[in-house]
Amino acid sequence: MGGMHPSVAGLIEEAREGESFLGRLESRLSRSYSSARGERSRAVLRVQAVALRAIRDFLDSRGFLELLPPIIGPVTDPGIRGARQVSFDYYGREYRVMSSAILYKQAAATALGRIYFVSPNVRLEPPETALTGRHLTEFVQVDVEAAGMDYLGAMDLAEDLIRHVIRAVREESARELEALGRELPECAAPFPRIPHREAVGILRSMGLEADGGSEISWEGEVALSSRFDTPFFVYDYPAGSRGFYDREDPDRPGILRDFDALYPEGFGEAVSGAEREYEYERVAARMRDSGEDPSRYGWYMEMLREGIEPSAGFGIGVERLTRFLCGLEGVWEARFCPKVAGIHSP
Ligand code: AMP
Ligand code: MG
Protein backbone atom coordinates (compact mmCIF):
# COMPACT_ATOMS: atom_id res chain seq x y z
CA MET A 1 0.00 0.00 0.00
CA GLY A 2 1.37 3.40 -0.92
CA GLY A 3 0.30 7.04 -1.28
CA MET A 4 -0.62 9.42 -4.01
CA HIS A 5 2.14 10.50 -6.36
CA PRO A 6 2.88 14.24 -5.98
CA SER A 7 1.93 14.85 -9.64
CA VAL A 8 -1.50 13.40 -9.17
CA ALA A 9 -2.02 15.14 -5.84
CA GLY A 10 -0.93 18.44 -7.43
CA LEU A 11 -3.30 17.89 -10.32
CA ILE A 12 -6.26 17.31 -8.03
CA GLU A 13 -5.37 20.44 -6.06
CA GLU A 14 -5.20 22.46 -9.26
CA ALA A 15 -8.33 20.93 -10.73
CA ARG A 16 -10.15 22.44 -7.76
CA GLU A 17 -9.13 25.81 -9.09
CA GLY A 18 -10.59 24.70 -12.46
CA GLU A 19 -10.44 27.84 -14.55
CA SER A 20 -6.91 28.98 -13.81
CA PHE A 21 -5.67 25.45 -14.40
CA LEU A 22 -7.45 25.28 -17.76
CA GLY A 23 -6.11 28.70 -18.72
CA ARG A 24 -2.55 27.58 -18.08
CA LEU A 25 -3.08 24.32 -19.97
CA GLU A 26 -4.58 26.21 -22.90
CA SER A 27 -1.69 28.61 -23.20
CA ARG A 28 0.78 25.76 -22.90
CA LEU A 29 -0.95 23.70 -25.61
CA SER A 30 -1.35 26.64 -27.98
CA ARG A 31 2.44 26.47 -28.39
CA SER A 32 2.78 22.69 -28.22
CA TYR A 33 4.99 22.68 -31.32
CA SER A 34 7.68 24.49 -29.32
CA SER A 35 7.11 23.13 -25.80
CA ALA A 36 8.31 19.79 -27.19
CA ARG A 37 11.79 21.31 -27.60
CA GLY A 38 12.66 21.28 -23.89
CA GLU A 39 14.91 18.72 -22.17
CA ARG A 40 11.99 17.44 -20.10
CA SER A 41 9.81 16.72 -23.09
CA ARG A 42 12.68 15.05 -24.88
CA ALA A 43 13.25 12.74 -21.91
CA VAL A 44 9.54 11.81 -21.82
CA LEU A 45 9.39 11.03 -25.53
CA ARG A 46 12.55 8.92 -25.29
CA VAL A 47 11.04 6.87 -22.46
CA GLN A 48 7.91 6.46 -24.56
CA ALA A 49 9.91 5.14 -27.50
CA VAL A 50 11.66 2.62 -25.23
CA ALA A 51 8.30 1.53 -23.78
CA LEU A 52 6.76 1.09 -27.22
CA ARG A 53 9.69 -0.98 -28.42
CA ALA A 54 9.48 -3.10 -25.25
CA ILE A 55 5.77 -3.70 -25.89
CA ARG A 56 6.46 -4.86 -29.43
CA ASP A 57 9.40 -7.06 -28.34
CA PHE A 58 7.26 -8.67 -25.66
CA LEU A 59 4.23 -9.35 -27.84
CA ASP A 60 6.37 -10.58 -30.73
CA SER A 61 8.17 -12.98 -28.35
CA ARG A 62 4.78 -14.36 -27.27
CA GLY A 63 3.83 -15.13 -30.86
CA PHE A 64 1.60 -12.11 -31.55
CA LEU A 65 1.52 -10.67 -35.06
CA GLU A 66 1.43 -6.89 -35.45
CA LEU A 67 -1.19 -5.76 -37.98
CA LEU A 68 -1.59 -2.26 -39.35
CA PRO A 69 -4.57 -0.74 -37.55
CA PRO A 70 -7.86 0.13 -39.25
CA ILE A 71 -8.42 3.90 -38.94
CA ILE A 72 -11.93 4.29 -40.39
CA GLY A 73 -14.96 2.06 -40.82
CA PRO A 74 -18.76 1.98 -41.00
CA VAL A 75 -18.98 1.15 -37.26
CA THR A 76 -16.70 1.50 -34.28
CA ASP A 77 -16.69 0.95 -30.52
CA PRO A 78 -19.83 2.43 -28.94
CA GLY A 79 -18.73 1.52 -25.38
CA ILE A 80 -16.91 4.77 -24.72
CA ARG A 81 -17.95 6.58 -21.55
CA GLY A 82 -19.50 9.91 -22.46
CA ALA A 83 -17.35 10.53 -25.55
CA ARG A 84 -18.68 11.30 -29.04
CA GLN A 85 -17.49 9.58 -32.20
CA VAL A 86 -16.18 11.41 -35.25
CA SER A 87 -18.21 10.56 -38.34
CA PHE A 88 -17.91 11.77 -41.91
CA ASP A 89 -19.28 11.18 -45.38
CA TYR A 90 -17.55 8.28 -47.10
CA TYR A 91 -18.72 8.19 -50.73
CA GLY A 92 -22.33 8.63 -49.74
CA ARG A 93 -22.27 6.57 -46.52
CA GLU A 94 -21.57 7.58 -42.96
CA TYR A 95 -18.21 6.27 -41.71
CA ARG A 96 -16.44 6.77 -38.40
CA VAL A 97 -12.93 7.27 -37.14
CA MET A 98 -11.95 4.38 -34.86
CA SER A 99 -12.76 5.06 -31.21
CA SER A 100 -11.23 1.62 -30.73
CA ALA A 101 -10.56 -1.26 -33.07
CA ILE A 102 -12.38 -3.82 -30.88
CA LEU A 103 -14.73 -5.10 -33.61
CA TYR A 104 -11.81 -5.60 -35.99
CA LYS A 105 -9.78 -7.35 -33.29
CA GLN A 106 -12.33 -10.14 -33.13
CA ALA A 107 -12.19 -10.50 -36.91
CA ALA A 108 -8.38 -10.48 -36.88
CA ALA A 109 -8.08 -13.03 -34.04
CA THR A 110 -10.38 -15.36 -35.98
CA ALA A 111 -8.25 -14.95 -39.11
CA LEU A 112 -4.78 -14.99 -37.54
CA GLY A 113 -4.90 -16.22 -33.93
CA ARG A 114 -2.73 -13.86 -31.85
CA ILE A 115 -2.61 -10.28 -33.08
CA TYR A 116 -2.08 -6.67 -32.03
CA PHE A 117 -2.55 -3.20 -33.45
CA VAL A 118 -0.73 -0.04 -32.39
CA SER A 119 -3.99 1.74 -32.91
CA PRO A 120 -4.66 5.50 -33.14
CA ASN A 121 -8.07 6.31 -31.66
CA VAL A 122 -10.14 9.49 -31.71
CA ARG A 123 -12.82 10.20 -29.08
CA LEU A 124 -14.43 13.58 -28.56
CA GLU A 125 -14.28 13.35 -24.79
CA PRO A 126 -16.45 15.73 -22.73
CA PRO A 127 -14.75 19.09 -21.96
CA GLU A 128 -14.53 18.33 -18.23
CA THR A 129 -12.02 15.55 -19.00
CA ALA A 130 -9.43 18.28 -19.63
CA LEU A 131 -9.04 18.26 -15.83
CA THR A 132 -8.54 14.51 -15.28
CA GLY A 133 -4.91 14.36 -16.39
CA ARG A 134 -5.65 11.11 -18.23
CA HIS A 135 -7.82 12.00 -21.22
CA LEU A 136 -6.78 13.05 -24.69
CA THR A 137 -9.10 13.23 -27.69
CA GLU A 138 -6.46 11.61 -29.90
CA PHE A 139 -4.47 8.77 -28.33
CA VAL A 140 -2.88 5.45 -29.14
CA GLN A 141 -3.65 2.14 -27.56
CA VAL A 142 -1.86 -1.12 -28.14
CA ASP A 143 -4.81 -3.38 -28.81
CA VAL A 144 -4.13 -7.10 -28.22
CA GLU A 145 -6.38 -10.10 -28.96
CA ALA A 146 -5.89 -13.88 -28.95
CA ALA A 147 -8.25 -16.60 -30.17
CA GLY A 148 -8.90 -19.24 -27.53
CA MET A 149 -7.58 -17.15 -24.61
CA ASP A 150 -9.79 -16.54 -21.54
CA TYR A 151 -9.85 -13.42 -19.39
CA LEU A 152 -7.60 -14.90 -16.73
CA GLY A 153 -5.04 -15.56 -19.45
CA ALA A 154 -5.48 -12.01 -20.70
CA MET A 155 -4.80 -10.69 -17.17
CA ASP A 156 -1.64 -12.81 -16.92
CA LEU A 157 -0.53 -11.48 -20.30
CA ALA A 158 -1.20 -7.84 -19.35
CA GLU A 159 0.70 -8.31 -16.08
CA ASP A 160 3.72 -9.83 -17.85
CA LEU A 161 3.60 -7.06 -20.46
CA ILE A 162 3.54 -4.24 -17.90
CA ARG A 163 6.37 -5.81 -15.90
CA HIS A 164 8.43 -6.31 -19.04
CA VAL A 165 8.00 -2.65 -20.02
CA ILE A 166 8.90 -1.41 -16.53
CA ARG A 167 12.04 -3.56 -16.54
CA ALA A 168 13.08 -2.29 -19.97
CA VAL A 169 12.52 1.35 -19.02
CA ARG A 170 14.42 0.96 -15.73
CA GLU A 171 17.35 -0.55 -17.62
CA GLU A 172 17.42 1.60 -20.72
CA SER A 173 16.02 4.93 -19.54
CA ALA A 174 17.71 5.35 -16.16
CA ARG A 175 19.14 8.72 -17.19
CA GLU A 176 15.80 10.05 -18.42
CA LEU A 177 14.01 8.88 -15.28
CA GLU A 178 16.61 10.63 -13.17
CA ALA A 179 16.26 13.84 -15.18
CA LEU A 180 12.50 13.64 -14.64
CA GLY A 181 12.96 13.02 -10.92
CA ARG A 182 10.96 9.82 -11.28
CA GLU A 183 11.43 6.85 -8.97
CA LEU A 184 9.50 4.04 -10.61
CA PRO A 185 7.99 1.67 -8.04
CA GLU A 186 9.23 -1.96 -7.99
CA CYS A 187 5.97 -3.45 -9.32
CA ALA A 188 6.62 -7.00 -8.08
CA ALA A 189 4.42 -9.87 -9.27
CA PRO A 190 1.79 -11.01 -8.76
CA PHE A 191 -0.30 -7.85 -9.11
CA PRO A 192 -3.22 -7.91 -6.65
CA ARG A 193 -6.56 -8.94 -8.21
CA ILE A 194 -9.74 -7.53 -6.69
CA PRO A 195 -13.27 -8.37 -7.81
CA HIS A 196 -15.30 -5.26 -8.70
CA ARG A 197 -17.65 -6.01 -5.80
CA GLU A 198 -14.72 -5.76 -3.33
CA ALA A 199 -13.38 -2.61 -4.97
CA VAL A 200 -16.75 -0.99 -4.36
CA GLY A 201 -16.56 -2.08 -0.70
CA ILE A 202 -13.07 -0.57 -0.32
CA LEU A 203 -14.24 2.74 -1.80
CA ARG A 204 -17.25 2.87 0.50
CA SER A 205 -15.02 2.12 3.49
CA MET A 206 -12.97 5.18 2.40
CA GLY A 207 -16.15 7.24 2.60
CA LEU A 208 -16.54 7.54 -1.17
CA GLU A 209 -19.65 6.91 -3.21
CA ALA A 210 -19.46 3.78 -5.34
CA ASP A 211 -22.16 2.03 -7.33
CA GLY A 212 -22.08 -1.77 -7.42
CA GLY A 213 -23.76 -1.70 -10.84
CA SER A 214 -21.47 0.58 -12.84
CA GLU A 215 -17.86 1.33 -13.75
CA ILE A 216 -15.75 2.97 -11.07
CA SER A 217 -15.73 6.77 -11.34
CA TRP A 218 -12.42 8.43 -12.19
CA GLU A 219 -12.22 9.91 -8.69
CA GLY A 220 -12.82 6.41 -7.33
CA GLU A 221 -10.07 5.03 -9.54
CA VAL A 222 -7.63 7.67 -8.32
CA ALA A 223 -8.53 6.97 -4.69
CA LEU A 224 -8.24 3.20 -5.11
CA SER A 225 -5.04 3.50 -7.07
CA SER A 226 -3.46 5.71 -4.34
CA ARG A 227 -3.67 2.77 -1.94
CA PHE A 228 -1.35 0.60 -4.02
CA ASP A 229 2.32 0.71 -4.90
CA THR A 230 2.12 -1.94 -7.62
CA PRO A 231 -0.31 -2.10 -10.52
CA PHE A 232 -3.41 -4.15 -9.69
CA PHE A 233 -6.50 -5.58 -11.34
CA VAL A 234 -10.20 -4.99 -10.79
CA TYR A 235 -12.18 -7.79 -12.44
CA ASP A 236 -15.73 -9.12 -12.90
CA TYR A 237 -17.49 -5.85 -13.68
CA PRO A 238 -21.29 -5.84 -13.48
CA ALA A 239 -23.29 -6.33 -16.69
CA GLY A 240 -24.45 -3.02 -18.06
CA SER A 241 -21.27 -1.23 -17.03
CA ARG A 242 -19.27 -2.01 -20.19
CA GLY A 243 -19.60 -2.55 -23.94
CA PHE A 244 -21.73 -5.37 -25.40
CA TYR A 245 -18.56 -7.21 -26.45
CA ASP A 246 -17.38 -8.03 -22.87
CA ARG A 247 -18.63 -11.57 -22.30
CA GLU A 248 -21.26 -12.12 -19.64
CA ASP A 249 -20.41 -15.22 -17.62
CA PRO A 250 -22.90 -17.91 -18.68
CA ASP A 251 -22.66 -19.45 -15.18
CA ARG A 252 -22.90 -16.14 -13.30
CA PRO A 253 -25.46 -13.97 -15.07
CA GLY A 254 -24.95 -10.28 -14.39
CA ILE A 255 -21.16 -10.64 -14.17
CA LEU A 256 -18.79 -9.90 -17.03
CA ARG A 257 -15.61 -11.87 -17.65
CA ASP A 258 -13.57 -8.68 -17.90
CA PHE A 259 -11.05 -6.51 -16.04
CA ASP A 260 -9.13 -3.28 -15.79
CA ALA A 261 -5.51 -2.98 -14.73
CA LEU A 262 -4.84 0.18 -12.73
CA TYR A 263 -1.53 1.89 -12.08
CA PRO A 264 -0.57 2.61 -8.46
CA GLU A 265 0.08 6.04 -6.87
CA GLY A 266 -3.18 7.59 -8.06
CA PHE A 267 -2.46 7.26 -11.80
CA GLY A 268 -5.64 5.21 -12.40
CA GLU A 269 -6.69 3.04 -15.35
CA ALA A 270 -3.97 1.41 -17.42
CA VAL A 271 -5.71 -1.36 -19.32
CA SER A 272 -9.23 -2.57 -20.08
CA GLY A 273 -9.68 -6.16 -21.18
CA ALA A 274 -12.16 -9.00 -21.47
CA GLU A 275 -13.22 -12.28 -22.90
CA ARG A 276 -15.56 -11.49 -25.82
CA GLU A 277 -19.12 -12.30 -26.68
CA TYR A 278 -18.85 -14.04 -30.05
CA GLU A 279 -22.21 -15.75 -30.63
CA TYR A 280 -24.67 -13.87 -32.84
CA GLU A 281 -27.73 -14.22 -30.60
CA ARG A 282 -25.91 -13.28 -27.41
CA VAL A 283 -24.29 -10.23 -29.02
CA ALA A 284 -27.62 -9.08 -30.47
CA ALA A 285 -29.26 -9.42 -27.03
CA ARG A 286 -26.42 -7.53 -25.30
CA MET A 287 -26.68 -4.79 -27.93
CA ARG A 288 -30.40 -4.41 -27.32
CA ASP A 289 -29.77 -4.31 -23.54
CA SER A 290 -27.38 -1.40 -24.00
CA GLY A 291 -29.70 0.49 -26.35
CA GLU A 292 -27.76 -0.36 -29.50
CA ASP A 293 -29.49 -1.41 -32.71
CA PRO A 294 -27.89 -4.62 -34.13
CA SER A 295 -28.98 -3.69 -37.66
CA ARG A 296 -26.58 -0.73 -37.55
CA TYR A 297 -23.65 -3.14 -37.21
CA GLY A 298 -23.85 -4.52 -40.78
CA TRP A 299 -20.59 -6.36 -41.50
CA TYR A 300 -19.98 -7.19 -37.84
CA MET A 301 -23.30 -9.00 -37.41
CA GLU A 302 -22.86 -10.75 -40.75
CA MET A 303 -19.47 -11.99 -39.57
CA LEU A 304 -20.96 -13.24 -36.29
CA ARG A 305 -23.71 -15.04 -38.18
CA GLU A 306 -21.05 -16.88 -40.18
CA GLY A 307 -19.23 -17.70 -36.92
CA ILE A 308 -16.03 -16.47 -35.28
CA GLU A 309 -13.54 -17.84 -32.76
CA PRO A 310 -13.97 -17.09 -29.07
CA SER A 311 -11.19 -14.72 -28.00
CA ALA A 312 -9.97 -12.44 -25.25
CA GLY A 313 -7.73 -9.41 -25.20
CA PHE A 314 -7.06 -5.95 -23.86
CA GLY A 315 -6.01 -2.44 -24.79
CA ILE A 316 -3.25 -0.48 -23.09
CA GLY A 317 -3.11 3.28 -23.63
CA VAL A 318 0.41 4.39 -24.60
CA GLU A 319 0.12 7.95 -23.26
CA ARG A 320 -1.21 6.79 -19.88
CA LEU A 321 1.57 4.23 -19.69
CA THR A 322 4.10 6.98 -20.41
CA ARG A 323 2.48 9.23 -17.80
CA PHE A 324 2.92 6.53 -15.17
CA LEU A 325 6.46 5.58 -16.21
CA CYS A 326 7.59 9.21 -16.12
CA GLY A 327 5.44 10.32 -13.16
CA LEU A 328 3.77 13.08 -15.19
CA GLU A 329 1.02 15.40 -14.13
CA GLY A 330 -1.07 14.80 -17.24
CA VAL A 331 -1.19 12.72 -20.43
CA TRP A 332 -0.77 15.93 -22.42
CA GLU A 333 2.93 15.72 -21.51
CA ALA A 334 3.06 12.23 -22.98
CA ARG A 335 2.77 13.00 -26.65
CA PHE A 336 3.94 15.42 -29.30
CA CYS A 337 1.24 18.05 -30.03
CA PRO A 338 -1.43 16.59 -27.72
CA LYS A 339 -5.15 17.23 -28.19
CA VAL A 340 -7.20 17.83 -25.06
CA ALA A 341 -11.01 18.12 -24.99
CA GLY A 342 -12.28 21.65 -25.59
CA ILE A 343 -8.86 23.12 -26.37
CA HIS A 344 -7.98 24.30 -29.88
CA SER A 345 -4.28 23.51 -30.22
CA PRO A 346 -2.01 22.62 -33.15
P1 AMP B 1 -11.28 1.87 -23.13
O2 AMP B 1 -11.77 1.15 -24.33
O3 AMP B 1 -12.02 3.15 -22.84
O4 AMP B 1 -11.16 1.02 -21.92
O5 AMP B 1 -9.79 2.33 -23.51
C6 AMP B 1 -8.74 1.41 -23.62
C7 AMP B 1 -7.45 2.00 -23.08
O8 AMP B 1 -7.10 3.16 -23.84
C9 AMP B 1 -7.62 2.50 -21.65
O10 AMP B 1 -7.33 1.52 -20.71
C11 AMP B 1 -6.65 3.66 -21.59
O12 AMP B 1 -5.36 3.21 -21.28
C13 AMP B 1 -6.68 4.21 -23.01
N14 AMP B 1 -7.59 5.38 -23.14
C15 AMP B 1 -8.94 5.35 -23.23
N16 AMP B 1 -9.46 6.57 -23.40
C17 AMP B 1 -8.42 7.43 -23.43
C18 AMP B 1 -8.29 8.84 -23.59
N19 AMP B 1 -9.34 9.63 -23.77
N20 AMP B 1 -7.05 9.39 -23.57
C21 AMP B 1 -5.97 8.60 -23.40
N22 AMP B 1 -6.01 7.25 -23.23
C23 AMP B 1 -7.21 6.66 -23.25
MG1 MG C 1 -11.57 1.32 -19.96
Which residues approach ligand 1 with their CB closer than 6 A?
Answer: 80, 100, 123, 125, 135-136, 139, 141, 269-272, 315-317, 319-320, 331
Q: Is the pLDDT of residue 26 over 70?
A: yes
- Residue of 86, 121, 165, 321 with the most ligand 1 atoms within 8 Å of its CB, for mutation: 121
Query: d(Cα 332, Cα 346) in Å, to the nearest integer?
Result: 13
313, 151 contact by CB (below 8 A): no
Q: Could you report the per-residue pLDDT of 203-224, keeping only the tens digit for each? A: 999 999 999 999 999 899 999 9
For the segment 86-97, the average pLDDT, to the nearest whole number, is: 98
pTM for this prediction: 0.96
Predicted pLDDT at 16: 73
- Residue of 320, 322, 331 with the most ligand 1 atoms within 8 Å of its CB, for mutation: 320
Query: d(Cα 332, Cα 319) in Å, to the nearest integer?
Result: 8
Ligand 1 centroid – CA 92 distance (Å) = 30
Nearest-atom number in ligand 1 for the CA of 99 is 2
Q: Could you report the per-residue pLDDT of 264-302, keeping only the tens digit for each? A: 999 999 999 999 999 999 999 999 998 999 999 999 999
Q: How confident is the model at residue 9 (pLDDT cuts 50, 70, 90)?
A: confident
Total Cβ atoms within 10 A of residue 195 = 15
Ligand 1 centroid – CA 317 distance (Å) = 5
Q: Is the pLDDT of residue 252 over 80?
A: yes
Give, using CA atoms, the residue closest to atom 11 of ligand 1: 317
Q: Quick one: what percent of the chain has pLDDT higher than 70?
A: 99
> What integer best gives the mean pLDDT of the chain?
95
For the segment 87-96, the average pLDDT, to the nearest whole number, is: 98
Q: Is the pLDDT of residue 1 over 70?
A: no
Q: How confident is the model at residue 186 (pLDDT cuts 50, 70, 90)?
A: confident
Ligand 1 centroid – CA 80 distance (Å) = 9
Q: How confident is the model at residue 13 (pLDDT cuts 50, 70, 90)?
A: confident
- From start to end of the chain, where are the E strands? 65-67, 72-73, 87-90, 93-97, 114-122, 138-147, 193-195, 232-235, 258-263, 268-275, 311-317
Give, using CA atoms, the residue closest to atom 8 of ligand 1: 317
Query: d(Cα 109, Cα 97) in Å, to the nearest integer?
Result: 21
Predicted pLDDT at 322: 98
Predicted pLDDT at 135: 97
- Answer with the residue of higher pLDDT: 340 or 7: 340
Give, using CA atoms, the residue closest to atom 13 of ligand 1: 317
Task: Enumerate domains of the chain plus CATH numbers.
Answer: 6-70+100-334 (3.30.930.10)
Q: Is the pLDDT of residue 144 over 60?
A: yes
